[in-house]
């Protein structure tokens, strides 16, 4: 919920406070901009605990072109058209996860392209058979993922 004005070189937080500094710098070989709000602004802020663990808020931004591309992409992700296209991807992501998990195909067992290619083809055939078997026998294709907390089964006894 922060907004950034690259022309005026300042950010505005959800409480309507503007950043005090706007420092272009380099972090880990990447050009970034660090916007900072002062301690005197953040100190008395009623929502500071929701915003920062420190005494003041710092936000690191990428350069303008990357920042604006990210904003545009995030806005696009809320559209029905984007969700419709992503639905196809989420299906294939499940297949890829199952393939890497079952066959260990992320790491090649052999050296050389012919052997690696053969290994991939055998893995693909194996996954096809597993999925056909699941289809014919009505088995779920894969376990439904559960969070670590859910796996602890901390349900209260009534």
Q: Applying CB under 6 A, which residues contact ligand SF4?
A: 13-15, 17, 37, 41-42, 45, 47-48, 51-52, 57
Cβ nearer to ligand SF4, comparing 54 with 104? 54
8 A C-beta contact, residue 145 and residue 151: no
* Nearest distance in Å: CB 59, ligand SF4: 8
Task: Report, in Å, the least distance between residue 69 CB and ligand SF4.
Answer: 24
Extract long-range pairs of 24-30: CB within 8 Å, 24+ residues apart.
Answer: 27/60, 30/62
Q: Based on CB atoms, which residue is closest to ligand SF4, 47 or 125?
A: 47
Closest CB 8 distance from ligand SF4, rounded Å: 17
Measure Cα distances from 116 to 22, 98, 121, 130, 134 in Å: 50, 19, 9, 21, 27
Closest distance between ligand SF4 and the C-beta of residue 4, in Å? 13
């Amino acid at each position: 919920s922060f907004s950034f004005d690259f022309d005026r070189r300042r950010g505005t937080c959800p409480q309507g406070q503007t950043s005090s500094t706007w420092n272009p710098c380099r972090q880990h070989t990447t050009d970034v901009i660090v916007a900072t709000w002062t301690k005197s602004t953040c100190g008395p802020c009623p929502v500071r605990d929701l915003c920062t663990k420190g005494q003041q808020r710092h936000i690191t931004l990428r350069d303008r072109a990357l920042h604006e591309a990210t904003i545009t992409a995030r806005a696009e992700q809320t559209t029905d058209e984007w969700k419709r296209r992503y639905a196809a991807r989420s299906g294939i992501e499940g297949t890829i996860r199952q393939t890497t998990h079952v066959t260990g195909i992320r790491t090649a067992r052999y050296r050389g392209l012919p052997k690696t290619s053969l290994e991939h083809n055998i893995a693909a055939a194996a996954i096809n058979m597993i999925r056909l078997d699941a289809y014919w026998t009505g088995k779920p294709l894969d376990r439904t993922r559960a969070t670590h907390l859910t796996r602890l089964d901390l349900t209260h006894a009534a």
